[in-house]
Amino acid sequence: MPEIKRILVPIDFSEASNVALATAIDFAHDYNAELFVLHVYSDLMPVLSMRTLDLDEHSVEEIQKTEAMDNIDAALSRFTFQVPVHKLIRKGVPSQEIVRSANEVMANLIVIGTHGRTGLSHVLIGSCAERVVRSSDCPVLTVRSIPLPKTDTG
């Protein structure tokens, strides 16, 4: 059985990342592992917002960090933890920052959600999860959020 002591779960606040977060929490509890919750925000500056609100680059970055931390806190508030949880925020290309962060925290496992895109949208948008799988030094568990079937109540 592999030793899993540090689990990294990147979240983008989508349904897919919510499912990955729940899965990572289960693994962390089962293995008594530390959980590292990571959000990567874009390094592309919202130029229109900066000009409209007369903000400088530093101010926009601080707003992005604060918003990301608030969103991480909201995502985590739905769960109870018996393991250490660390919140990480990075700026950059998500797949690169996920792999870099996993190396920094010496993660034994990355649990990442996938949107399950196929065809042209996969070709045009690509898959962050796929890039992480290809470049990570540690195992990566991809979790796809599957919509629950609609039930007929009557």
Find the CATH number of the domain harbouring 67. Answer: 3.40.50.620
* Residue 65 belongs to some domain of the structure: yes
In a domain, 153, yes or no: no
Q: What gap in Å lies between CA 40 and CA 96, rounded to an integer?
A: 10
d(CA 127, CA 115): 8
CB-CB contact of 112 with 132 (8 Å): yes
Domain assignment present for residue 151? The answer is no
> What pLDDT does 26 receive?
95
Asked if 33 contacts 4 with a C-beta cutoff of 8 angstroms, the reply is yes
Please check whether residue 118 lies inside any domain of the structure: yes
Do the domain assignments include residue 150?
Answer: no
Give the pLDDT of residue 124. 41
pLDDT value for 48: 45
In this prediction, the residues of the chain whose per-residue pLDDT falls under 70 are 1, 43-58, 116-126, 146-154
Domain that holds residue 63: 6-144
Query: pTM of the entire structure?
Result: 0.81
Total domains in the chain come to: 1
Token digits of residue 39: 């959000």
